[in-house]
Amino acid sequence: MTARPVRRLAEQDNLRLLKGRRLRRPTLAPWMLMVLIGVVAFLGLGFARTSLDRSAFDLAELSKAISEETATNRQMNLEIARLVNPARISPLAEELGLVIPDTTKQLLVDLTPEIPVVAGAEGEGNNQ
Amino acid sequence: MAAPKAARRLQPSKVRVAVIGLAVVAAWMGMGYRLFQIQVVQAADLAEQGLNQRLVSRDLAPQRGKIFDRNGELLAMTVQAQSIYAVPSQVEEPLWVAQQIGGPLGADTDVLYQRLISDREFVYIKRQVEDVVADEVLGLEIRGVYSHPEPTRIYPAGAVASHVTGFVNIDGDGQEGLELVYDEELRGTPGKAEFERDLQGRVIPQGYSRIVPAIPGVDLNTTIDLPLQYQAQQACVLALEQTGAISCWVVVLAVETGEVLAMVGAPIFDPQTRQTQDPSCEQAEDPVACRAFSNFIVRGIYEPGSTQKLITVAAALEEGEVSIGTVFPEVPDELELRDDACRFADDELYGCYRDFENHATEDMSVAQIFTRSSNIGTIKIAETLGQDRLIQYIEAFGLGSKTGIDYTAEAPGILNFEAGCATCWASAAIGYSVAVTPLQMAAAYAAIGNDGIWTTPHIVSSKTDVDGETQVAGMQTRRVVSSGTALLMRELLALVVEKGTGAAAAIDGYRVGGKTGTANKLGDDGRYTETTRASFVGMAPINDPKVVVAVLIDAPSFDYRTGGLSAAPVFAAVMKQALHRLGVTPDGHQR
């Protein structure tokens, strides 16, 4: 549907045509777009700000967790050091009958004899 | 005309409006001026004041460095503990509170009560307790009793390495041992944190913050072998029980590198509690008199006795004055270097010299003199050298000066060759008139084991900081005798163990060499007493020495008064463990 031209309408209906500024329908679209952009930017800024705050809180939590884990790790290392302390192990070993023998036996290995060939040893894979 | 006048006269309502308008304008101008003052003129100052109200500054304490043994086992580290404190004005029933918290803390109730009724605003109840204990105390929910975290130094090896690590005080400052020597490096550099906080004390996210992180202290990697340290300490404790001695000291050196593999003493002390574990010391009025905290190996000086003969004989061999087979005719068991010096049976030194055991006058070779530890024979060997050359070699072997070990307050020892002393050279030749530390003697023997090259003993091999590991430099070496002389001396040392006074030092599977030493202690009257310091210094395997062990036992009972009886068995026990720990292949020698 199209509108009739104003001049033709005046001729047909004996209407008087008044000269003046041509009326235009106000264009709202750019304003609405700007407002929309502004709102989006405002919301985006707010979102970014809260995200940053949330990230900061997360980082603080992570830092705290790292500190706690580090402290735990230190305590574990300390516990290991206490457990492997010879002053702790030695009495326990003695209680279990594990004592250093008074006598020492020496095993003298003679390397000069020929190496005996074991029957069936060939081709049985690569033992490492 | 009245009408226009009346028309020109302002109506009252307009006047009021004008006045109000002016007032509003003035008010706005005032506000504007004030805003300008605040927002522009004083903006910076006010912003700073506001920031200061929100800003909190905290010092970031650096983590004190750890101390490790040569295998990476922890010897010392710092962890967080809790310090319990009270605000006495808030404590309602001090006696009841003292009774409640005294048990978990293991503290005296009366002492706690006195603290809780004091006028001070803040009193420590107990510092640096474990979290479990702190939780138990805080679980009582007593008003006025609180805790705050505080770092504390822990020594997981307990007393085993106490003479090496030393200890720190309650505030974490090094007081003794490596903790003191490397205190500045161990403590690190403090950092600083500045941040904004809200009314509840919470950190404001996105607020101003500035953090200068603390730089942790360096970690020390020592040359100590913890299992060997323990074995040596056990051998010392056992020796104290058997011999009834005052103290026992053992140092183990790696021959080629000068690394201190073990350095122990007994009575032992706990670096955590800084209390000796010897009951007799604890019962003493002055526990410090036990000297358990002071490392005698580095700081204590004693007359070495016969172990000194190694230097005398080595010097004579090096100078070509004697050989091993050189025979000294008619060596008696008593010698007077001053007229009537031996008039009385108890006269010792100051010109009168006697062998430990009486024997007939006989011809003795250098080897016999050394293996039988003849004082008179050794003086005759020294006579061939003369005082100047003897002193020269004594100094070359490191006696009379600090070894340079990285330990606090090392004693240089004493060389007593005062002018006019006609017999000092003879006394020095047999280990009197000189005072040495056990470490100096161990280093001198290590020089013989290292083909005549003396090396600075050291405890810390490397340091690890944020930039990585760095080796500790500064070890010095110098040749004191030729490798040939060192070889001959090692053979003589082996003969001492095989045929001489050091039989108890023998070990199955390894040929061992060493020298006994027995020196009488000076009494309060300046005369020598029957009480002795027994020592043994030796090395193994003698054909290619890897380890030197020096043992000193102070004031053993009469039955154990000689180095051969009391110190040599300790040497054998420690040397056996040292060779096993280092994985030294046995040479098949049977004792």
pLDDT, tens only, A24-79? 777 888 889 999 999 999 999 999 988 988 888 898 899 899 988 988 898 899 99
Does B213 contact chain A (CB < 8 Å)?
A: no
Smallest Cα distance from A117 to chain B, Å: 29
Taking the C-alpha atoms of residue B56 and residue B51, their distance in angstroms, rounded to an integer, is 9
Nearest CA in chain A to B72: A81
Beta bridge partners of B239: none
Does B79 contact chain A (CB < 8 Å)?
A: yes
- Spell out the long-range contacts of B169-172 with Cβ–Cβ below 8 A and sequence spacing 24 or more: B170/B127, B170/B128, B172/B64, B172/B78
| Residues of chain A positioned with their CB less than 8 A from the CB of B74 | 77-78, 80-81
| A56 occurs within a structural domain | yes
| A5 occurs within a structural domain | no
Taking the C-alpha atoms of residue B151 and residue B148, their distance in angstroms, rounded to an integer, is 10
| Residues of chain A positioned with their CB less than 8 A from the CB of B79 | 71, 74-75, 78
First to last CA, chain B: 151
Interchain pair B226, A86: CB under 8 A: yes
| Residues of chain A positioned with their CB less than 8 A from the CB of B206 | 49, 52-53, 56
Smallest Cα distance from B152 to chain A, Å: 12
pLDDT value at A1 more than 50? no
ipTM value greater than 0.90: no
3-state secondary structure of B253: strand
Does A104 contact chain B (CB < 8 Å)?
A: yes
Domain assignments of chain B as residue spans, ordered by start: 226-582
Q: What are phi and psi of B131, to 5 degrees?
A: -55, -40
Does A103 contact chain B (CB < 8 Å)?
A: yes
For B509-550, the DSSP string reads BB--EEEEEEEEEE-TTSSEEEEEEEEEEEEESTTS--EEEE
Taking the C-alpha atoms of residue B281 and residue B291, their distance in angstroms, rounded to an integer, is 9
Smallest Cα distance from B508 to chain A, Å: 7
> In angstroms, what CA-CA distances link B525 with B169, B369, B522?
38, 32, 8
Which residue segment(s) compose the domain that A43 sits in? 27-95
pLDDT tens across the length of chain B (591 residues): 445 555 566 677 888 888 999 999 999 999 999 999 998 999 999 888 888 888 888 888 888 999 999 999 999 999 888 889 999 888 888 899 899 888 888 888 888 899 888 888 888 988 888 888 888 888 888 888 988 888 899 999 989 999 999 999 888 899 989 999 999 999 999 999 888 888 887 777 677 888 898 899 999 999 999 999 999 999 999 999 999 998 999 999 999 999 999 999 988 888 887 776 665 555 555 544 455 678 899 999 999 999 999 999 999 999 999 999 999 999 988 888 777 777 765 555 567 888 888 888 999 999 999 999 999 999 999 999 988 999 999 999 999 999 999 998 899 998 888 777 888 889 999 998 899 999 999 999 999 999 999 999 999 999 998 888 787 766 788 999 999 999 999 999 999 999 988 999 999 889 999 999 998 888 877 778 888 999 999 999 999 999 999 999 999 999 999 999 999 999 999 999 999 999 898 887 776
Residues B512, B517, B522, CA angle at the centre, nearest 5°?
A: 165
Mutate to test the interface with B, among A67, A82, A85 (most CBs of B within 10 A): A85
Taking the C-alpha atoms of residue B40 and residue B51, their distance in angstroms, rounded to an integer, is 17
Smallest Cα distance from B450 to chain A, Å: 27
Interchain pair A85, B158: CB under 8 A: yes
Say if CB B543 and CB B518 are below 8 A apart: no
| A9 occurs within a structural domain | no
Q: What are phi and psi of B333, to 5 degrees?
A: -100, 5
Taking the C-alpha atoms of residue B441 and residue B8, their distance in angstroms, rounded to an integer, is 123
Does B227 contact chain A (CB < 8 Å)?
A: yes
Contacts of B584 (CB under 8 A, 6+ apart): B510, B540, B541, B546, B547
Does B508 contact chain A (CB < 8 Å)?
A: yes
Closest to B590 measured CA to CA, from A15, A60, A112, A108: A108
Note which residues in 5-64 of chain A have CB less than 8 A from chain B.
Answer: 49, 52-53, 56-57, 60
Interchain pair B79, A84: CB under 8 A: no
Does B506 contact chain A (CB < 8 Å)?
A: no
Smallest Cα distance from B227 to chain A, Å: 6
* Per-residue tokens: B156: 């997981």
pLDDT for the residue A120? 44
Say if CB B537 and CB B550 are below 8 A apart: yes
| A47 occurs within a structural domain | yes
Strands annotated E in B87-224: 123-129, 145-154, 167-168, 174-176, 191-196, 209-212, 219-222
β B67-68/B74-86 pair status: antiparallel
Structural domain total, chain A: 1
| A67 occurs within a structural domain | yes
Smallest Cα distance from A52 to chain B, Å: 8
Across the interface, of A77, A87, A108, the residue whose CB is closest to B158 is: A87
β B67-68/B219-222 pair status: parallel
Across the interface, of A71, A85, A106, the residue whose CB is closest to B157 is: A85
Interchain pair B509, A104: CB under 8 A: yes
| A48 occurs within a structural domain | yes
B226-582 folds as Beta-lactamase (3.40.710)
Q: What is the pTM of this model?
A: 0.80
Interchain pair B509, A56: CB under 8 A: no
Interchain pair A56, B508: CB under 8 A: no
Interchain pair B230, A86: CB under 8 A: yes
Size of interface A-B (CB pairs under 8 A): 56
